[in-house]
């Protein structure tokens, strides 16, 4: 059976671990060729071996203009187009109000907001008409989470990106959507103290945390023609945590 993303060329930033890796792997399984980025070469090498085929890893940091330029040069030279962008690179560090430093603020905004903007803008010249842009948001953009003032604000801001880009790119039929996970079983949550894990778990109506593969399945939907009449939305995959 043919996959849902046959012949598609995709970019997944932050694609060496967690949600990004699961998404890249799901895309390849659905027939796409995927470029992945990440800051740590050893993690990229491991991800490439795990995915096994139809994947190209490019080391780089989405907050650095030179790294983004290198990324786009490689994609343009090797494939010449992008049909799907998953702006996934990001991190949600904790700092309660009263302890937020300028350094902390700049790091969170650069990675979670600036990186998304300049990834999409830089790739735009080779984005195909009818392409799908998927920004990985967070339930923290819609629901207050103690200690996540800056991260939550950045994720609320990328929600605004999707609304604006939906209108700006409509003549090219390029769709932009937000995919917002709740607590997902990735490295940070796996290493969290038991009381923190239990606190997150208590706020999820489905009674469990999510898996990276479940977010990846939602990304496949948004990347494929199954969602060709869906744009400008925020799709929550959060077990109901931000919904009730």
Please state, in angstroms and as integers, the Cα–Cα distance from residue 160 to each residue in 119, 137, 145, 167, 176, following that order.
16, 11, 19, 11, 11
- Measure the CA–CA gap between 215 and 197, rounded to whole angstroms: 19
Q: Is 151 a catalytic residue?
A: yes
Inter-residue contact 67 to 111 (CB < 8 Å): no
- Measure the CA–CA gap between 235 and 180, rounded to whole angstroms: 6
Q: Which two tokens stand for residue 117?
A: 């903007």
The rounded radius of gyration (Å) of the Cα atoms in the chain is 17
Catalytic residues: 151
């Amino acid at each position: 059976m043919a996959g849902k993303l046959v012949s598609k060329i995709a970019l997944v930033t932050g694609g060496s671990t967690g949600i990004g890796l699961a998404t890249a792997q799901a895309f390849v399984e659905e027939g796409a060729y995927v470029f992945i980025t990440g800051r740590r070469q050893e993690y990229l090498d491991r991800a490439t071996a795990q995915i096994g085929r139809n994947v190209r890893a490019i080391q780089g940091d989405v907050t650095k203009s030179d790294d983004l330029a290198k990324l786009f040069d490689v994609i343009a030279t090797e494939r010449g187009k992008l049909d799907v962008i998953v702006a996934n690179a990001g991190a949600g560090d904790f700092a309660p109000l009263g302890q937020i430093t300028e350094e902390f603020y700049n790091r969170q905004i650069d990675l979670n907001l600036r990186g998304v903007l300049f990834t999409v803008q830089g790739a735009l010249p080779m984005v195909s008409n009818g392409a799908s842009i998927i920004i990985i948001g967070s339930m923290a953009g819609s629901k207050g989470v103690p200690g996540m003032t800056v991260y939550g604000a950045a994720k609320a801001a990328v929600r605004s990106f999707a609304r604006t880009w939906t209108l700006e790119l409509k003549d090219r039929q390029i769709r932009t959507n937000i995919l917002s996970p709740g607590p997902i079983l990735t490295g940070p949550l796996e290493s969290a103290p038991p009381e923190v894990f239990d606190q997150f778990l208590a706020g999820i109506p489905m009674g469990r945390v999510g898996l990276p593969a479940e977010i990846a399945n939602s990304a496949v939907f948004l990347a494929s023609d199954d969602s060709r009449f869906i744009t400008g939305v925020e799709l929550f995959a959060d077990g109901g945590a931000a919904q009730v």
